Amino acid sequence: MLLLVRCLGASILLQTVAVLAQPDGSSFGTCLDLTFMIDVSCSVSRDDMIRGIEFAKVVVDNLDSKMTIDRDTTLRVAVGVFVDKVHSIFYLNKYTENKAAIMDALEDAKNYLKPEAMKCKTLTHYAIDALNNEYFNVNNGDRRDRLDADYRNVAVVVTDARTSSRKWVNNGHLGRYLKDAEEAGNDIFTVLVKNNREKEPLDEALLTGNDTSKLIDIREGNDEAEAVRFASFLKFAYSCPKSDVPLVSEVCADIIFALDVSCSITSDDKDLSTYVASEVYKKVFAETRNYGVGTSFLVFDNTARVAFDKYEIMPTIDDIATKILDVNVTNDACRTRPASMFQEVSDKELDIALPDSSTPIYMVVLYDGMTSPLNERDRSIESATEFKNKPNTELLCVKLENDRGKDGSSEFNAIPSSASHLFPQDASFLNDANKDSVVQGIADLIISGLRCPS
């Protein structure tokens, strides 16, 4: 079967099988604002309403939603239901943290498929009008005006395609709102379900503009295959151009380096520390099959400062090893408050794995174990514990020598995830003689826990 697909103002002739076999044009994500509108009038069975949501779930699950650098998803989804009026379930800006949240919301939408009173009028024109003016509205999450990418609007109307009463078709209301959608650039597709009174559809030609490629008929089943086919088309037609969307990459791990730059740390030890961090990064990256690691670097004394973070760099493009060596390690104060550093990590959401929540997060703290003022030591240990209690986190420490001879062993014993996470492993501090063995020990620990995309 041949499909004529109109996309971006052009006509593309595709074979159904070829759509499924297309090279993945969505390696940079599917840039799409997608709304599902479900007919819940009395002529559609509840089973078919549920099938509409299941269709939506399969479509979304097969789309390539990436995480952008501003912590948004390249794919946004909304759901509404309609009968004699439109009921919103959620808008495009409700679930933007990741695709898993969208999938959970779609499952929950099954609980809202029947409005407060079952009615038999099917005012399809209200649904189309709501799509144009309510769902695809910047106040509700529509991104058509964004400058960083071309986020296009697609609506999927699940219906038996029988507007009732017919006067709303005969007097031109439905046709007029469909024309408005076309002029606004809102692409509308129709998923056809059975009329439970065995009546034939009447509006499918009007809803699709006589374009059969915009009609998906699941009345006789084959729902999943049709949903997968439709998702394959969407991935091809609405893929993000590489240069448009700054993405958070799929990575094998996140590494957060945090360096004490207070006045109790010598310049030589600061240089050794950036060397260790840079070499650890290079060794770990070499084991990631070019997926890389999300890398962040902070310095801290009385306050914490982010030199760079995983949201602003691309692990397969930026020279992160050199960035580490170029970090400004000048101190602002002599006090050392690790709690401020842990708070900065939390505030910047560096302890949240994106886009995959199962990605391990390793934090490497290079310091002398001496909180100053000393009466804040408990807070330092509590902050470290809070970090370690977060999912998939491990905390490593590299011992730097306090240039005033003070003993940081109590923090060295409490801060790391375990004794095997403390380096050097013997009683010494980081120095020129042991720096490479420290690098290898840290790299081996991180490499053993890498979780690279399959």
- Starting from the edge strand earliest in sequence, which strands make up the sheet with 32-39, in order? 86-90, 75-82, 32-39, 152-159, 186-192, 215-217
Cα torsion angle, 387, 305, 282, 422, sign: negative
* pLDDT tens-digit readout, 87-101: 999 999 998 877 888
* pLDDT tens-digit readout, 90-148: 999 998 877 888 999 999 999 988 754 457 788 888 999 999 999 999 999 999 877 65
Q: What percent of the chain has a predicted confidence (pLDDT) above 90?
A: 63
> Does residue 436 carry a pLDDT above 50?
yes
CA distances from 105 to 64, 168, 282 (A): 18, 32, 40
Other beta carbons less than 10 A from residue 213's beta carbon? 20
DSSP 8-state secondary structure symbol assigned to residue 220? T
- Residue keyed to tokens 């002398």: 368
Residue 7 is predicted with a pLDDT of: 39
User: Quick one: average pLDDT of 237-242?
Assistant: 79
Residue 229 is predicted with a pLDDT of: 92
Residue 12 is predicted with a pLDDT of: 35
Domains of the chain with bracketed CATH = 2-237 (3.40.50.410), 250-447 (3.40.50.410)
Which of 243 and 11 is assigned the larger pLDDT?
A: 243
> Does residue 329 carry a pLDDT above 60?
yes
> Does residue 24 carry a pLDDT above 80?
no
Under 8 Å between Cβ of 306 and 298? yes
User: Quick one: average pLDDT of 60-86?
Assistant: 85
CA distances from 157 to 38, 64, 83, 108 (A): 6, 21, 12, 19
Other beta carbons less than 10 A from residue 448's beta carbon? 8
Query: Can you say whether residue 433 is alpha, beta or left, with left for phi > 0 and alpha for psi between -120 and 50 degrees?
Result: alpha
Q: Say which residues have a Cβ less than 8 Å from residue 426's Cβ, sequence separation at least 6.
A: none
Q: Of the ranges 162-171, 183-192, 404-413, which one carries the lowest mean pLDDT score?
A: 162-171
The mean pLDDT of the chain is 87
Could you tell me which of 278, 258, 294, 317 has the C-alpha nearest to residue 450?
294
Q: What is the band of 71 on the pLDDT scale with cuts at 50, 70, 90?
A: low
* Predicted TM-score (pTM) of this structure: 0.59
Distance, CA of 68 to CA of 39 (rounded, Å): 33
Under 8 Å between Cβ of 98 and 275? no
What are residue 302's phi and psi, to 5 degrees?
Answer: -70, -30
Under 8 Å between Cβ of 204 and 231? no
